């Protein structure tokens, strides 16, 4: 008799970030970019987290649920995740962009997940925009569950309710860790090949459920949570310049030697 499939329920946290191929302009106040004409997409590490969740689901069965935070605009990235294969989504609506720090985002996610059943929570190691690499770890602490960061490989045993993860360390080293369900893992980019989104998936995604949760309904006093305020963003200023030395070989050599001594100060 065939053994019954042990299923897992996986929550995948997604973040909406400006597209990597977008031409950016700094907003008039100098604190963010002009986002009215910017295309947004799923942060790269989060997309790999979703891919890993879908692979685990294909192997063990179960359900993949997306969780994100933002304005109504974030529905677009959720539809992309649903088209890839996730079953449903939860959108925490923050219409005035009150959430400005990893701790605030983790707090909002934790409040929602306290009312959800889950075995695993997967998130990207860091986001493409600010790259704090803190939200997943803070979420694990708020949920009081074990966690592992910078994960490159995951295997689960639903029957034993345990998992093994391979973490990327410094200098080419890796660390294998084992922990019980439920747990939070932050996934590194490049862990696998992101699947192609088929037309059938795109059409089916339009009918899948996205449950909206108002940030104000979570009982969070955002003003009391330590926050990050951006003072200024700007494009890097060029610090190098090229200069073409004119003249014959002797003149160019003498000029180059002079510049190396007096300007570069390396002779």
Is 152:166 a contact under the CB 8 Å cutoff?
A: yes
Residue 205 has pLDDT above 90, yes or no: yes
Higher pLDDT, 1 or 218: 218
pLDDT-based confidence at residue 267 (cuts at 50, 70, 90): low
Residue 164 has a CB neighbour count (10 Å cut-off) of: 14
For range 18-42, the mean pLDDT: 81
The CA R_g of the chain, rounded to the nearest whole Å, is 24
Q: Which domains does the chain have, with CATH numbers?
A: 8-224 (3.40.50.620)
- Note the pLDDT of residue 1: 36
Whole-model pTM: value is 0.83
Higher pLDDT, 123 or 22: 123
d(CA 86, CA 56): 12
Neighbour-count burial of 35, counting CB atoms closer than 10 A to its CB (0-12 exposed, 13-18 middle, 19+ buried):
middle
- Note the pLDDT of residue 93: 93
């Amino acid at each position: 008799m065939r053994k019954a499939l042990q299923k897992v329920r996986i929550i995948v946290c997604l973040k909406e970030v400006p597209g990597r191929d977008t031409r950016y302009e700094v907003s008039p106040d100098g604190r963010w970019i002009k986002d009215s004409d910017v295309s947004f997409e799923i942060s790269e590490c989060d997309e790999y987290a979703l891919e890993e969740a879908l692979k685990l689901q294909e192997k063990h069965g179960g359900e993949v649920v997306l969780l994100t935070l933002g304005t109504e605009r974030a529905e677009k990235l959720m539809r992309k995740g649903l088209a890839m294969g996730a079953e449903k989504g939860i959108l925490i609506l923050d219409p005035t962009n009150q959430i400005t720090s990893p701790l605030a985002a983790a707090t909002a996610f934790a409040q929602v997940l306290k009312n959800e059943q889950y075995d695993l929570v997967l998130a990207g190691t860091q986001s493409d925009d600010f790259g704090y690499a803190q939200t997943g770890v803070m979420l694990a602490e708020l949920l009081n569950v074990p966690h592992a960061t910078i994960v490159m490989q995951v295997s689960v045993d639903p029957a034993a309710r345990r998992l093994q993860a391979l973490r990327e360390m410094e200098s080419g080293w890796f660390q294998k860790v084992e922990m019980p369900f439920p747990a939070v893992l932050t996934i590194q980019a490049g862990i696998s090949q992101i699947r192609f989104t088929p037309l059938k998936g795109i059409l089916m995604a339009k009918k899948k459920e996205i449950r909206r949760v108002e940030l104000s309904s979570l009982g969070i006093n955002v003003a009391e949570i330590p926050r990050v305020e951006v003072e200024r963003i700007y494009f890097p200023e060029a610090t190098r310049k090229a200069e073409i030395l004119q003249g014959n070989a002797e003149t160019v050599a003498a000029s180059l030697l002079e510049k190396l001594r007096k300007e570069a100060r390396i002779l």
